[in-house]
Amino acid sequence: MLKDALKSERPTTPVEVLELVADAGAAGRALEIIGGGTKRSIGAVTGAAAVLSLAKLDKVVDYAPEELVLTAQAGARLSDLEQLVAAEGQMLPFEPPHLTGLLGSRGEPTLGGVLAANL
């Protein structure tokens, strides 16, 4: 769930993300960037002027199972990616922990969150 006190931006394209980040940077405003929001308690952001949710950027851009190549946007849910590669008899080359229960969070872990949290 997004923090009520902060303005929430929910871009649907990479170009919109670029514009929002550029505008915030030019104005000196900090952004809290989230996907599924499941790791918000890790390294909590202070002083953010707005929340930039990448949850709608959840597409698989390219998947070539024969080449072992998968390109996905930051908001892609891990469960969807795991299901996609499993259908081809494959698995992701990493095993990020699902911390929602431990952190008391809701939502679905995303690829961007895994990378941002270095998991």
Report the share of the chain in percent with pLDDT over 70: 94
- Residue 35: CB partners within 8 Å, gap ≥ 6? 53, 54, 55, 74, 75, 109, 110, 111, 112, 113
- The whole-model pTM stands at 0.82
- The per-residue pLDDT for 2 is 45
**pLDDT tens across 32-69, in order?**
998 888 877 777 677 889 999 999 999 999 999 999 99
Angle among Cα 22, 28, 33 to the nearest 5 degrees reads 60
Q: What is the model's pLDDT at position 5?
A: 63
At residue 111, does pLDDT exceed 60?
yes
Give me Rg for the CA atoms of the chain.
Answer: 15
Summary mean pLDDT of the chain: 88
